[in-house]
Amino acid sequence: MEVLIINHHEVRELLPMGECIEAMADVFRIMAGGDVVQPLRWPLWLPDRSGLLGMMPGYVGGEMGMLGIKTVSVMPGNHGTPYDSHQGTVMLFEKVNGRLLTIMDASEITAIRTAAVSGLATRLLARDDAHDLAILGTGVQGRSHLAAMLAVRPIDRVRVWSRNAEGLANYAAWAKKTHGVEVEIMGDVQTAVSGADLICTTTAAPTPILYGEWLAPGVHINAAGSSVKHTRELDTATVVMSRLFVDRRESTVNEAGDFLFPKQEGAVDDDHIVAEIGELLMGEKNGRQTGDDITLFKSLGLAIEDIGAAHHIYEKAIAQGKGTWVELGGTKEF
């Protein structure tokens, strides 16, 4: 039995941001229709809590009909090193005989699909004329989120903040070379976000860096940096004053520190979540109601997003003859 191996260069080539945004929309529509199985993530923490191995299984039905799992190490200490903080594999299995079809790099999938979901949320929630973007963080997600925002809104100003001065300089050079975008380097978060239409938080900060008192009316926020219950990038006021949208309610109320800290303080309850992205796509819930609404998308990342992205990559790889086939697994020999 042959399995298709797809490396990180091929993932990047086969999953451009615009296509990934549409693939994520397809996945969220299927989830809104109830044809997915999405357990909560299971983390295996290192004894000193410096990193973890995350296991994210799921099933996406509809025309896709795929079982899948992402197994990924999450090492926040990798920031500032040559290594991505998220490393691992995504595997797809067909649902009839359970055959393993493909193994592909998870770092690139995670980088692209996370920002693509933020791009989808921005397309659904941000003002149509949003053009002034602030990105907090210059790592993998800081870069991917710039690509996602450029794909969905007419961005003509980009401000970036990070604690890493070298990272800021490198980011500005990369943005100019890759996207033809001039980036304004900001010395503090308040200045970076002042008057912004769009804010993307993509940091590894364990405690709030974004405060509600700094937000302009009508801003849309994508909070993508924290994906565990014990860290948050947003202060309580930011969450309270926002119309809150999520990828999935069950994941948010169990795993999202940006939501759970305000909830523990008694500032919000589960009803503060207005809708899941899929409900917006299906027209079941309303998003932005006025131009002055502050909208917030809290991103956690779901296995079904990885499965949807991997399925898109797999089909394109076969059509274009990309990837490497290896003998793995087998059939009964009797």
Q: Do 277 and 182 share a structural domain?
A: yes
DSSP secondary-structure letter at 41?
A: P
Q: Do 133 and 187 share a structural domain?
A: yes
Q: CA of 305: how far to CAs of 19, 80, 183, in Å?
A: 13, 27, 30
What's the rounded mean pLDDT across residues 26-55? Answer: 94
Q: How confident is the model at residue 17 (pLDDT cuts 50, 70, 90)?
A: very high
Q: Do 138 and 91 share a structural domain?
A: no
Alpha helices (H) along 126-188: 140-152, 165-179
Q: What is the pLDDT of residues 75-98, one digit of tens each?
A: 888 877 888 788 899 999 999 999
What's the rounded mean pLDDT across residues 13-24? Answer: 98
34: domain CATH number is 3.30.1780.10
Q: Do 244 and 139 share a structural domain?
A: yes
Q: What is the pTM of this model?
A: 0.94
For residue 286, being part of any structural domain is answered with yes
Q: Determine the structural domain holding residue 32 and report its residue range.
A: 2-109+303-327
- Whether 277 and 300 have beta carbons less than 8 Å apart is answered as no
Q: Do 133 and 50 share a structural domain?
A: no
For residue 59, being part of any structural domain is answered with yes
pLDDT beyond 90 at 74: no
For residue 234, being part of any structural domain is answered with yes
pLDDT at 165 (0 to 100): 87
Of 282, 285, 283, the C-alpha closest to 274 is: 285
Q: Do 182 and 151 share a structural domain?
A: yes
Please give the Cα distance from 236 to 210 (Å, whole number). 10
**Number of domains making up the chain:** 2
- Whether 325 and 100 have beta carbons less than 8 Å apart is answered as no
∠ CA 301-148-161, nearest 5°, is: 90
Please give the Cα distance from 334 to 332 (Å, whole number). 6
Q: Give strand pairing partners of 29.
A: none
Q: CA of 144: how far to CAs of 94, 105, 204, in Å?
A: 30, 16, 15
pLDDT at 76 (0 to 100): 80
What's the rounded mean pLDDT across residues 15-32? Answer: 98
Helix and strand numbers (H, E) in the chain are 11, 16
Q: How confident is the model at residue 272 (pLDDT cuts 50, 70, 90)?
A: very high
Q: Do 240 and 169 share a structural domain?
A: yes
Alpha helices (H) along the chain: 8-14, 17-32, 106-125, 140-152, 165-179, 189-193, 236-240, 249-255, 257-264, 277-281, 303-320
Q: CB under 8 Å, gap of 24 or more: what pairs does 95-101 form? A: 95/59, 95/65, 95/66, 95/67, 98/67, 99/1, 99/329, 100/1, 100/3, 100/328, 100/329, 101/3, 101/4, 101/314
pLDDT at 78 (0 to 100): 83
What's the rounded mean pLDDT across residues 215-236? Answer: 95
Please give the Cα distance from 248 to 302 (Å, whole number). 8
- Kindly report the average pLDDT of the chain as a whole number: 95
Q: Do 139 and 275 share a structural domain?
A: yes
Q: Do 68 and 156 share a structural domain?
A: no
Q: What is the pLDDT of residues 153-205, one digit of tens each?
A: 999 999 999 998 889 999 999 999 999 999 999 999 999 999 999 999 999 89
